[in-house]
């Protein structure tokens, strides 16, 4: 697996976790005592990202817009990483055609 693939796959996993956490926050927003969660990421050695889910230090504003925006951002990040994988696949195919 190339570093492009590794970076894109870790980005896909990060975006997926962001979607899951924001859905969890939306589903539990009306639950008494619920504390929002957030996903924190940092660069991984050798490329890509590592991430963890933590309880948010900020109190919920009670507005769903925060989680809706998070879902839209995560969706776009997911699609961008899918496009990276597609582009890599096309490049590898072109290289194989040239060498053949």
In order, the DSSP letters of 52-73 are EEEE-SSPP-S-THHHHHHHHH
In the numeric block, which tokens belong to residue 55? 């309880």
Confidence grade of residue 57 (pLDDT, cut at 50, 70, 90): confident
Is the pLDDT confidence value at 100 over 80? no
Beta-carbon-side half-sphere exposure of residue 74 (alpha carbons within 13 Å) = 23
**Residue 5, SS3 per DSSP:** helix
Domain locations in the chain?
3-99
Q: What is the pLDDT of residue 2?
A: 64
pLDDT tens per residue across span 64-73: 888 899 999 9
Note the pLDDT tens digit of each residue in 17-55: 999 999 999 998 888 888 899 999 999 988 889 999 999
């Amino acid at each position: 697996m190339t570093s492009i693939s590794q970076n894109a796959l870790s980005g896909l996993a990060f975006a997926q976790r962001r979607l899951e956490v924001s859905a969890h926050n939306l589903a539990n927003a009306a639950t008494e005592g619920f504390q929002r969660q957030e996903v924190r990421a940092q660069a991984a050695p050798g490329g890509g990202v590592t991430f963890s889910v933590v309880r948010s230090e900020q109190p919920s504003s009670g507005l769903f817009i925060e989680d809706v925006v998070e879902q839209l951002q995560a969706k776009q990040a997911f699609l961008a990483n899918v496009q990276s994988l597609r582009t890599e696949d096309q490049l590898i195919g072109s290289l194989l055609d040239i060498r053949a």
